[in-house]
Amino acid sequence: IEDDGRGIPEQERQRIFDRGARLDSGKPGTGLGLAIVRDVAEIYDGSVSLEESDDLGGLLVRLRLPRPEGQAT
């Protein structure tokens, strides 16, 4: 998922996965969304990372999940 917003500073990208962590406290939210995404990805032996979008300049969220066994490539 990519956007053209201001993104997340690289030094904040790991911390933002902590439960309750929020970068914009001026908007409603609990700070649970990315923590839940990370936990679910890890349950399925996957991962989620936050990067900078080369195409749009904002945030790139990359979710990786393993291919189910027996599926062709």
C-alpha 72 chain-centroid distance: 27
pTM of the predicted model as reported, rounded to 2 decimal places: 0.76
| Domain 10-64, second-level architecture | 2-Layer Sandwich (3.30)
C-alpha 34 chain-centroid distance: 6
pLDDT at residue 39 in the model: 96
> pLDDT for 57-73, tens place per residue?
999 999 999 988 877 66
Spell out the SS3 assignment of 16-52. Answer: HHCCCCCCCCCCCCCCCHHHHHHHHHHHCCCEEEEEE
> pLDDT for 15-55, tens place per residue?
999 998 888 778 888 989 999 999 999 999 999 999 999 99
Whether 2 has a pLDDT exceeding 80, the answer reads yes
Whether 14 has a pLDDT exceeding 80, the answer reads yes
